[in-house]
Amino acid sequence: MSDTPIAMALGKVIIAAAWSDGCIQTEEVDCIKDLLFHLPELSTQDLEVLENLLEKPITEAQCTAFIKELIEALDSQQQRAFALFALERVINADGVVTERERALVDRVKEDILASADSQLLERFTRLLHKALSFRLKACHKPLKDDSLENFIQEKLSLMGKQAIAPDLPAEELRKLCLAGMLMARVVWANETISDAEIHSSVLYLEDKWELNAQEALFVTRITLDPSVCQLDIIRMCRQFYERTCMRERVQFLDVLFKIGFADNQLTEKEFSRIMEITAHLKLGQDHFQEALSRVNMIAA
């Protein structure tokens, strides 16, 4: 049974909370999209509907309607439990919840369990501002040129100067950069890199995405830059998700495991990195286990 209506209703209340001050700062927009991305059961189309609501202020009438929609959706214990789970996903997106924030989360949970709307928006607003502050800090660390956008633009510029894949659309090139960056998360999990891992990456790009050897090697070079591991994994995965279909994302797990098994053993850190990427790409435990089984069969 799909719980999309509840996730959508939560998303609308989150957006209403974001507009509670009458404006949303430019640097906050992507952060809010990152948080909405963590709502479970939402399709790409669902997320587009929510993101469209970020384009202009939410009226008081809309706000009232959104809260009513959420409360009405919580008409069973199972649905309220799902709403609590979805809320935890959003609030814990960056893995940072202080004792004070936890108390506030608990109050919002009490409102949801009681289907009470009197202070729901106010508490959602306070929660969102806390979550946004963590998101902003995660995306703008005090390191030189560490932003995801700066890194991608640098690689795309270099690709253009070297006439790599000149016929590929800009969005396709961006997808390739993101793929290389996510591969790097596994390649550098153990703070070392092997020729076998590089070879596995090149073969995957040639086979699955039909790149020529020059294009595949360029993308793989992105994995050789350890600074990738300092970039924001949540936004990296969201942007990769937006530019891929389910089939591509499932296939991508295969290459991550192939990279991990390139030296004939999958370390705990590599396992953890792949699991993290799997979750952030909205793939399930079944996808993770099936990909692991496929690679184990090949290795055997």
For each of the chain's 300 residues, which pLDDT tens digit applies? 355 788 999 999 889 888 888 888 888 888 889 889 988 888 889 999 999 999 999 998 998 899 889 888 888 888 888 888 888 888 777 666 667 667 767 777 777 777 666 677 787 787 777 777 778 777 765 444 447 888 888 887 877 777 676 777 888 888 888 999 999 999 898 877 778 878 877 887 788 777 788 778 877 888 888 888 888 888 999 999 999 999 999 989 988 998 888 878 888 999 999 999 998 999 988 999 998 988 776 655
* Alpha carbon 169 to its chain's center: 23
Dihedral sign from CA coordinates of 120, 126, 131, 136: positive
Residue corresponding to tokens 């253009």:
160
The predicted structure's pLDDT at residue 271: 93
Using the CB atoms, write b or e for 19-31: b if 16+ within 10 Å.
bbeeebeeebebb
Please answer whether residues 291 and 249 qualify as being in contact, where contact means their C-beta atoms are separated by less than 8 angstroms. Answer: no
The predicted structure's pLDDT at residue 299: 56
- DSSP state, 249? H
The closest of 238, 118, 104, 113 to 178, measured between CA atoms, is 238
The closest of 146, 167, 5 to 70, measured between CA atoms, is 5
Q: Which two tokens stand for residue 17?
A: 């909370």
> Which residues have C-beta within 8 Å of that of residue 186, sequence separation ≥ 6?
197, 256, 259, 260, 270, 273, 274, 277
Q: What angle do CA 173, 175, 181 make, to 5 degrees?
A: 110
Find the DSSP H helices in the chain.
Answer: 4-18, 26-37, 44-52, 60-73, 77-91, 99-113, 120-139, 148-161, 170-187, 195-208, 213-222, 233-242, 246-260, 268-280, 285-299
Report the C-alpha gap between 115 and 60 in whole angstroms. Answer: 20
